[in-house]
Amino acid sequence: MAQTRAIVITGNGTNCEMEAAHACRLGGFDEAVIAHIAEILSGEIRLDDFHFLNLTGGFLDGDDLGSAKAQANRLKHAAVSGSAEKLVEQFTRFIADGKLILGVCNGFQLMTKMGMLPALDGDYLGQTATLTFNDCGRFQDRWCYLKSDPASPSVFTKGITKGIYLPVRHGEGKFLCDSAETLARIEAGHLTALKYSGPDYAEATMEFPANPNGAQNAIAGLCDPTGRLMGLMPHPEAFVHYTQHPRWTREELPEEGDGLILYKNAADYVRKNLL
C-alpha cells in the first residue's frame, strides 16, 4: 500500500519542527520527515516525493527585513544545486499536483510574503497580503478562541462547526491586505477559515486581548480558493493532547487537543485524493 508522506522544513531560525512532525504522525501520516532547507536546496530531498508540506513557526533569518521576508526571497529565487531548476518550481509543481501546504505562525508569514496566500485567481507568487507588527507593540504569548467558518473550502478545518482553542506566540501577527478589494474577495470566498473570537465562538472580535494583534477583520487563519493551502498564526501542533491545555489539571477534557483535527483532515485528504 502507498504511504502517506509529510515533510517539515527546518533551518535558518525555524522551530516547532519536532512538534509538527509529531502532529503529522498522530494525525495519521505514515511518515513525517524533518528536512533542513539546505537538504532541499542541494537536491538531496525533493518536495515532489511528499504529499503534505509543513512550514513551521520560528524566527526565520532573525525576522530581518520583516518576518519571513528573507526566506521568501530565498525560496523564490534560489536554484537547486546541480540543476537548472529553481526551488520555487518545486513549490508551484507541488501546488499544481493537488497537494497540501500548512503554514503556522512564521510559516503563515512566509506563505503570504511568497504570494501563496490568498492566491486569488490562482496567482501563487504575487503578494497581496502581509503579516505585520501587533497593534499592542509587543510579543504576545497567550491562548485564543478561534471561530471557524463552516462554509470555508479549507481542507484543514473541515468538520469544525463552531471553533477551536489554540495558543499564539508572535510579535508580527497582524494580517493586512493590500486593498479593500482583496479583503472583500477573501471574505466573499469564505477564505477566512478562522477568526479571533470570544469563548462562545459566536462573533469575531477586534478587542484585545481576544484578538492579540489587531488583525484585519479578526483574521487568524486563511486558505486559498482550493482549500488545500492554509496559513494561521495560532499553533495547532502545540495542542494535540489534553495535557497541553493550560487548564488540563482543572477541567475534564477529551484526550485529543483541538489542533489535531487539522492534521487528521490532511491525512484523510491525502489518502482519499493523492494515493
Which pairs from 245-254 meet CB under 8 Å and 24+ separation?
A: 245/165, 246/143
Q: What is the pLDDT along the chain (275 residues), one digit of tens a residue?
A: 589 999 999 999 999 999 999 999 999 999 999 999 999 999 999 999 999 999 999 999 888 888 999 899 988 989 999 888 999 999 999 999 999 999 999 999 999 999 999 999 999 999 999 999 999 999 999 999 999 999 999 999 999 999 999 999 999 999 999 999 999 999 999 999 999 999 999 999 999 999 999 999 999 999 999 999 999 999 999 999 999 999 999 999 999 999 999 999 999 999 999 99
Q: Which of 239, 219, 227 is nearest to 265 (CA)?
A: 227
Task: Determine the Cα–Cα distance for residues 216 and 197; give it in Å rounded to an integer.
Answer: 13
Question: Helices 106-114 and 69-77: crossing angle, nearest 10°?
Answer: 50
pLDDT the model gives residue 8 = 98
φ, ψ dihedrals at 87, nearest 5°: -60, -35
The CA-atom distances, in angstroms, between 152 and each of 123, 190, 201, 230, 240 are 19, 5, 16, 11, 22
* Cell numbers placing 57: 513557526
Query: Smallest Cα–Cα separation from 9: which of 82, 83, 114?
Result: 114
Q: Quote the CA–CA distance of 76 and 142 in Å, as a whole number.
A: 33
Out of 51, 170, 235, 245, which one is annotated catalytic?
Answer: 235
Amino acid 251: pLDDT: 95
The active-site residue, picked from 17, 144, 237, 245, is: 237
Beta strands in 59-137 (DSSP E): 100-104, 129-132
Domains of the chain by range and CATH?
5-273 (3.40.50.880)
Q: Are 40 and 254 in contact (CB under 8 A)?
A: no
- In the residue annotation, 235 being an active-site residue is answered as yes
Question: CB of 211 within 8 A of CB of 218?
Answer: yes
Q: What is the pLDDT of residue 119?
A: 98
Measured CA angle at 188 (ends 187, 191), to 5 deg: 50
pLDDT in the model for residue 62: 87
| Per-residue pLDDT, 61 | 87
Q: Establish whether 237 is a catalytic residue.
A: yes
Q: Which pLDDT does position 65 carry in this prediction? A: 81
| Phi and psi angles of residue 22, each rounded to the nearest 5 degrees, phi first | -65, -40
pTM of the model: 0.97
Q: What is the pLDDT of residue 1?
A: 59
Q: Which of 16, 24, 105, 223 is catalytic?
A: 105
Q: 56: alpha, beta or left, given left = phi > 0 and alpha = psi -120 to 50?
A: beta
CA 76 to chain centre: 18
